[in-house]
Chains A and B, each alone.
Chain A
């Protein structure tokens, strides 16, 4: 019998509004007991004193690059990076090679992920064939194969008629349609936020309105069709406002925000570091403030990494040519705990946005510590200081804007299905 006791942690259960020091016992892969003092005869004991014990984090948005771009990441390394960062489940985007636009690819992903990944992997299928924005994918077959959502992500569906039908058809499967909302003709060649920084750098600007125009379109189409729209990586004050208003009207919309859009401004790009190039770009301080307020007041439901690994040689090029995106699985905890330290989120609210809400959006288990629930857990030391060196991380890629920085807060242990798969002192543990 497999028993593991997490002793003396601050147990945070967003579902039950629980926030108290307690022991938590894991038995046979499920949560067996939570109580102030548990008898743990024969159990492996892990001290959680000074730490938070929480449901494992769930990432709505990661690029695990398999199949096709295994030189950037694969299920083994992506899964390790996930559990090292406190994530027990990761939804992976469809822009692989080939893209996940066919049930056979979904099955491939699940088969390989089950074999190789320490974290659970939830495939997101493409909304249109070859992410081409024209021909709808077989959503019913994709969901049967295991897809949890559909999205063309960065290949934004520009044809509004196609987008309308994708949303309408998605009612058959009742899964979220995730959108990377950017009106490409307004983005133009833009690579940094349009504003004083693009002017200073002499780089083409990507205006906030490019995102807002597309968010407005998709919200109206969601309202028309009654589909579940999920807006990925919201980055502008205007987009937050549009989502807030639509939700008040009863539109079925959820939204996520990334760690970088919550904590970094466009000024990070001064100096032309391509690890500050994202899509959408880092925005103004006012936009960051609006995203943080939106996350706190519930307009934005979840924190999602948009973990986007790229090889060093791909990033070490001219700023305009570098692929956008940064890795984030291993740094989300310290980076976003900034909102807890700033008093904008309680620890319980933070857990809700990193775990319970993403799980609910994807209609997957997680985000709770109920007795009998699968024991997917993370143990977080909110005070731990550490120097982040991506070359020593688990991701294959190193494209992080936080490279070389001292971070505060760290995931120290991760449990998936009752198995300890990561411990900060012992590294990744294959059970």
Chain B
């Protein structure tokens, strides 16, 4: 059962993921209406607490909250305890005293959303923490693959690029494995994290081998400024070996789709001609991100207040989603 918070895909059961994806499918319909708004979270307050700047993810959460009629507050403290007199825990406690119904946290250091969740009475949603996890990104990726392929079980997914520094990679590794896919990684040896195969994936240093027979090719953004010269010799060499273009995509299945969490370094990890058109589904990912985040906010912030502290009571409310009926097949949490 999905818990009080959404901190990591590692913590979820397959059933939790399925429930979130089912809910997202219902939420998707709201985005197709002329008036894209339902009263489900009317009167609820959602705080976007972004210590690390992120226009895309923050906007996606903001739109998701607003489509559910929640009051969405954006709070962007100036980075960390180092540069700031107030500690992250004090910031969290201050927020908590204002009793929001959910707090969406992004931080450049792994583990901060967990530490904040330990202090807060309201549910915490991790919107990306360091190189740890980015659970809503993985969920929207799963959702996109499910819509494209009709299943996840039995698919072969290749994740390509800077696995070592990527929270997107970690969340997707857990997510696709839990949903029954085979997960392969491809990167230069310097960007494959230690002991990563113990998670149940196969790591390749050859893009061709990793892509052989893949149904899904997920390209990761490479931080050229920070990594070039240190983790790989040059953008040119990286791009030649691990950048995806139409020619290299031939290694994958004929109907393989190409994904990217964005923003894309065109011509570096992804050729221009692949970025805009099928088989790339990059804009579908963005579109689905809103529906998926609506589902997460609905499931976590939509609970009656007394269940938020993790009491075992199951939630059995009537969802006010208008024609978008939200299934409550597994009702509540443990």
Contacts and interface: CB of A to CB of B under 8 A. Distances in A.
Given A196-B194, A272-B115, A321 B109 contact: yes
B111 A321 contact: no
Interface residues of A, number: 20
B167 A272 contact: no
B110 A203 contact: yes
A326 B87 CA distance: 21
B167 A202 contact: yes
Interface in A295-349: 313, 316-321
B10 A200 contact: yes
A284 B329 CA distance: 42
Contacts of B193: 198-199, 205
Interface string A29-49: 000000000000000000000
A194 B194 contact: yes
Interface residues of B, number: 27
B194 A201 contact: no
B100 to A, nearest CB: 21
Nearest to B131: A202
A203 B130 contact: yes
Interface in B99-132: 107, 109-112, 114-115, 129-132
A50 interface: no
A202 B194 CA distance: 11
* A196, A202, A313, A317, most chain B CB atoms within 10 A: A202
B195 interface: yes
Contacts of B194: 194-196, 198-199, 205, 207
B131 A318 contact: no
Nearest to A271: B114
A200 B129 CA distance: 12
Interface in A200-235: 200-203, 205, 207
Residue with the greatest number of chain A CB neighbours at <10 A, chosen from B10, B133, B194: B194
A318 B132 contact: no
A202 B198 contact: no
A202 B81 contact: no
B87 A272 contact: no
A195 B112 CA distance: 21
Contacts of B38: none
A321 B110 contact: no
Contacts of B196: 199
B89 A319 contact: no
Nearest to B10: A200
Nearest to B107: A318
Interface in B152-208: 167, 170, 193-196, 198-199
B81 A321 contact: yes
B109 A320 contact: yes
- Residue of B81, B110, B130 with most partner-chain A CB within 10 A: B110
Contact of A313 (B87, B109, B170): B87
Contacts of B132: 201-203
Choose among B80, B107, B111 the residue with the greatest number of A CB atoms under 10 Å from its CB.
B111
B282 to A, nearest CB: 24
Nearest to A196: B195
B32 interface: no
Contacts of A203: 110-111, 130-132
Contacts of A205: 193-194
Contact of A319 (B87, B109, B133, B195): B109
Nearest to A318: B109
Contacts of B195: 195-196, 199
Nearest to B111: A272
A316 B87 contact: yes
A321 B129 CA distance: 14
A321 B133 contact: no
B27 interface: no
Contacts of B112: 318
A306 B195 CA distance: 29
B65 to A, nearest CB: 26
Interface of B: 10, 80-82, 87-89, 107, 109-112, 114-115, 129-133, 167, 170, 193-196, 198-199
23 contacts: A196-B195, A198-B194, A199-B170, A199-B193, A199-B199, A200-B170, A202-B110, A202-B131, A202-B132, A203-B111, A203-B130, A203-B131, A272-B111, A313-B87, A316-B89, A318-B88, A318-B107, A318-B111, A318-B112, A320-B109, A321-B81, A321-B82, A321-B109
Question: What 5 pairs across the A-B complex have the smallest Cβ distances?
Answer: A202-B132, A272-B111, A202-B131, A318-B109, A196-B195
